[in-house]
Structure formats: C-alpha cells, structure tokens
Amino acid sequence: MRLATVSAAIFVCALSLGTVAGQQEKPEQMPMAQMKAPAEPLKITFGDKSATWTVATLAGLPHVTVTVHNEHTKADETYSGVPLIALLTPLGVSDKPHGKDLRLYVVAEGSDMYEAVYSIGEVTPDVSTSTVMVADSENGKALAGDGPLKLIATGEKRPARWVRNLVAIKVLAAE
C-alpha cells in the first residue's frame, strides 16, 4: 500500500512539472496560458550583422497593407506592416537576388519557439508576387492576441507559416 502511495506521489509531481518519464510538453501542445509571453524586440541577424526592431521603430518605416484569407478563422483579415525584405536589405541581403543569393533562406521564430522557413526568393518582390511582411496591425488596430509582431505571407492556402509573437529572424545559407 505504501509503495502505491509513493508511486502516485511521484506521478503527481512529474505531472505538475510537465513531465512524464522525462518528456516535456512541446510548445505547440501547451495551453496558451503556459506559452512564453509576447516579446519585443525583434532581432534580425545575417552573418555578423544584426538589427533590433520594436513596434515603435517599425512605425517609422513605410508600411504596406494586404488582405488575406485566414483558413483557420475562415475570414478575410487585413494586415499592415513592413515588407520583410525592407528589414533585410540594410543587413546586406540583396533585394534582387541572383546566383548564390538564391541559396539564402529565412528562419522566423516566435516566442513560443514555433519556426517557419522561407527562401529568399519568396520574400523578394523581384522574384515572387507574394508579400512576406512583419505585421504590426490587423484591421487598423495594433496586434494583441498574437503578440505585438506577426510574420504573415500572402498567396498561401492557409497560415501554416505565419509566425505570431515574432521575436527572431535569421538569414542563413544552404550548403
């Protein structure tokens, strides 16, 4: 009887720590209340160069507005923000990529550790008709529920690669 009580106590402790048999919950399995809080600033890196952006510093840059259909909400949503390429070019990323430039890709990360990848061609209007942008408002209001910044893209069937609570963007090169 005493062994059963000790085993039950260990199981309850493990559950309260979010582990069973040493496995932790993945962020996508966590309830929203347990996810890392929305964070600023957004850090963008390319090689040894980096830039930091906040909602306030992004507000001073030219914005574009796009309307996209969000398959998750089954509604059209209008976002305003800064095209991602406008944030990458000051770090040395070409806005007209060719040759070796096309080996570059972007990894966008949310505060919940969700990551999405875009090729440099997908974020460059010189190559793609899609718009990939760092949005700071939806339907004319500052973003709230999804954090202060959100990476969105037009031309996608569903928002699988949109990144809410955007905190980091890394530009890397394929081998």
- Give yes or no for a contact between 130 and 78, defined as CB atoms under 8 angstroms apart: no
3-state class (DSSP) for residue 148 = coil
Q: pLDDT per residue over 60-116, tens digit each? A: 999 999 999 999 899 999 999 999 999 999 999 999 999 999 999 999 999 999 999
How far apart are alpha carbons 53 and 33 in whole angstroms? 25
Q: pLDDT per residue over 36-62, tens digit each? A: 555 679 999 999 999 999 999 999 999
What domains appear along the chain, each with residue ranges and CATH number? Answer: 1-33 (no CATH), 35-173 (3.90.420.10)
Half-sphere exposure of 89 (CA within 13 A, CB side): 12
**Separate counts of helices (H) and strands (E) for the chain:** 4, 12
3-state class (DSSP) for residue 7 = helix
